């Protein structure tokens, strides 16, 4: 919603920026025309030599007429150049008033054509100006030096216009590249935020779903155990308390990290700086599930050596979610968790002897989270009926990475039962 609301504001900002640039360009052109008009007015202010007729207002008006088109030099540079040349020719052929040391309007018009016009138009205008320089000099002084000087100044104006065009094109390319990088960074940041939200959602789902499911199962069995087996009832209530405390510790740690990330200046949250649960925490997880739910058997085979911490956490979360699904939906009487390490892979099997349908009142986010966690480690996960169609099994295969700093070892072959 925030991105949708920001789009009209961005378009409005772009339109306002374009209008300001256009207004600034028009202001610059008007100021330039006034500056040229001031330069063209100097010969009318200085007294003319004896023997020449005095300058008239008609001379000045026609001189100003050659300057006026410069206001529109950006909008129609070729037409402005033709208008300036026509006004200059009319001035020379009809009135022959005070001459100018430099043809300022013509130079600026040629510069504008070179900077703003496509190749065909600017070459045509350059050829026309080159052809007109000779007759103009012939009508004025017939001096070779003036002819060479005229070619030089008009050529310099053309070259300066091309250099300006190149600089503007380079600047536009750099700005476009910067805009593309900004868009790419923004998209990457949005994608990173989406991935982080998905990761947090998985963690919250795994922690809360497991804890609440185990607590519900154990709480439901508690009243029956009070009458039939008081010792087991006491263990069930203790398991409820331990499960709740473990969930609170994990949630407090996660929320504390979120607080530090979202508010860098805020004081650190009172969250324990402990690593995420790994393989060493699996026996305790199995024991908690077994206290109030179906008995769980935990086996490991193979010796893969040390594992990265994130791989251990992935294994723990996959087993945790698979056990949660079995307790909530399978109506199982026994669950088996087995880790099998061989051929550079770690295979995870969580099998129950329940209904084996994999259906239930849940939303299916747990199995999706298992697949996402396995895929994040370069592995795969699947779920379906167990061997011979009995029960329900969650299977995951993770590639084993080389040893990295801070990794921990998988326990050797062992079996933990209820």
Per-residue pLDDT tens over the stretch 12-22:
666 666 666 66
Q: Residues 230, 234, 235, CA angle at the centre, nearest 5°?
A: 120
Q: How far is CA 301 from CA 342, 345, 353, in A?
A: 8, 12, 22
| Tokens, residue 261 | 């990330």
Within 13 A of 116's CA, how many CA atoms are on the CB side? 16
| Residue pLDDT, tens place only, 151-199 | 999 999 999 999 999 998 999 899 899 989 988 988 988 888 888 777 7
From residue 132, alpha-carbon distances to 67, 152, 390 in Å are 19, 14, 99
Predicted confidence at residue 163, as pLDDT, reads 95
Whole-number Å distance between alpha carbons of 398 and 33: 75
Question: Shortest CA distance to 337 belongs to which of 355, 357, 321?
Answer: 321
Strands (E), 11-138: none
Sign of CA dihedral 139, 142, 147, 150: negative
Query: CA-CA distance, 36 to 38, in Å (whole number)?
Result: 5
Distance separating alpha carbons of residues 24 and 32, to the nearest angstrom: 12
Give the torsion through C-alpha atoms of 128, 129, 130, 136, to 10 deg: 120
CATH 3.30.565.10 in the chain is located at 282-418
Beta bridge partners of 336: 297, 351
Between 382 and 207, residue with greater pLDDT:
382
Look at the pTM and tell me if it is higher than 0.75.
Answer: no
**Pair of tokens at residue 382:** 């699947």
What span, in angstroms and rounded, lies between the C-alpha atoms of 185 and 2? 17
Show the CA angle centred on residue 16, arms to residues 15 and 20, nearest 5°: 120
Phi and psi (nearest 5°) for 108? -70, -35
CA distances from 138 to 10, 69, 81, 156, 211 (A): 58, 26, 21, 21, 101
Pairing of strands 335-342, 345-352: antiparallel
| pLDDT of 25 above 50 | yes
What would the pLDDT profile of 200-254 be if each residue is shown by its tens digit?
777 777 777 677 766 776 666 666 666 666 666 666 677 677 777 777 776 776 6
Distance CA 412, CA 302 (A): 7
Whole-angstrom distance between the N-terminal and C-terminal Cα of the chain?
A: 51
Distance of CA 102 to the CA centre of its chain: 54
Q: What average pLDDT does the chain have? A: 78
Architecture of domain 282-418: 2-Layer Sandwich (3.30)
């Amino acid at each position: 919603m925030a991105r949708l609301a920001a789009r009209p504001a961005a378009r409005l900002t772009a339109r306002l920026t374009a209008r300001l640039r256009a207004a600034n360009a028009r202001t610059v052109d008007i100021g330039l025309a006034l500056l040229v008009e001031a330069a063209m007015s100097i010969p009318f202010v200085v007294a003319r030599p004896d023997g020449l007729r005095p300058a008239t207002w008609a001379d000045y008006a026609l001189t100003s007429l050659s300057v006026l088109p410069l206001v529109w030099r950006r909008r129609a540079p070729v037409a402005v150049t033709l208008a300036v040349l026509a006004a200059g020719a009319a001035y020379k052929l009809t009135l022959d008033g005070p001459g100018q040391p430099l043809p300022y309007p013509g130079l600026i018009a040629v510069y504008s054509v070179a900077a703003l016009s496509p190749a065909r138009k600017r070459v045509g205008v350059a050829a026309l100006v080159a052809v007109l320089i000779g007759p103009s000099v012939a009508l004025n002084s017939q001096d070779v030096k003036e002819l060479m000087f005229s070619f030089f100044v008009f050529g310099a104006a053309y070259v300066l216009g091309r250099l300006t065009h190149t600089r503007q094109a380079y600047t536009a390319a750099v700005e476009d590249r910067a805009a593309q990088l900004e868009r790419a960074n923004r998209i990457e940041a949005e994608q990173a935020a989406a991935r982080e939200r998905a990761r947090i959602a998985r963690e919250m789902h795994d922690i809360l779903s497991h804890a609440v499911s185990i607590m519900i199962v154990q709480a439901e069995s508690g009243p029956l155990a009070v009458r039939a087996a008081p010792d087991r009832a006491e263990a069930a209530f203790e398991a409820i308390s331990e499960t709740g405390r473990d969930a609170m510790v994990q949630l407090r740690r996660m929320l504390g990290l979120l607080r530090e990330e979202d508010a860098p200046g805020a004081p650190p949250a009172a969250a324990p700086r402990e690593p995420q649960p790994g393989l060493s925490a699996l026996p305790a997880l199995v024991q908690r599930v077994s206290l109030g739910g179906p008995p769980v058997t935990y086996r490991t085979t193979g010796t893969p050596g040390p594992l990265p911490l994130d791989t251990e956490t992935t294994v723990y979360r996959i087993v945790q979610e698979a056990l949660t699904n079995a307790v909530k939906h399978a109506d199982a009487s026994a669950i088996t968790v087995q880790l099998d390490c061989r051929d550079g892979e770690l295979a995870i099997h969580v099998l129950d002897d329940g209904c084996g349908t994999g259906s239930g009142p849940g939303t299916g986010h747990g199995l999706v989270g298992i697949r996402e966690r396995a895929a994040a480690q370069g592995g795969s996960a699947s779920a379906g009926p167990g061997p011979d169609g009995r029960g329900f099994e969650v299977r995951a295969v993770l590639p084993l990475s080389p040893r990295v700093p801070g990794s921990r070892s998988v326990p050797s072959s062992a079996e933990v039962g209820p």
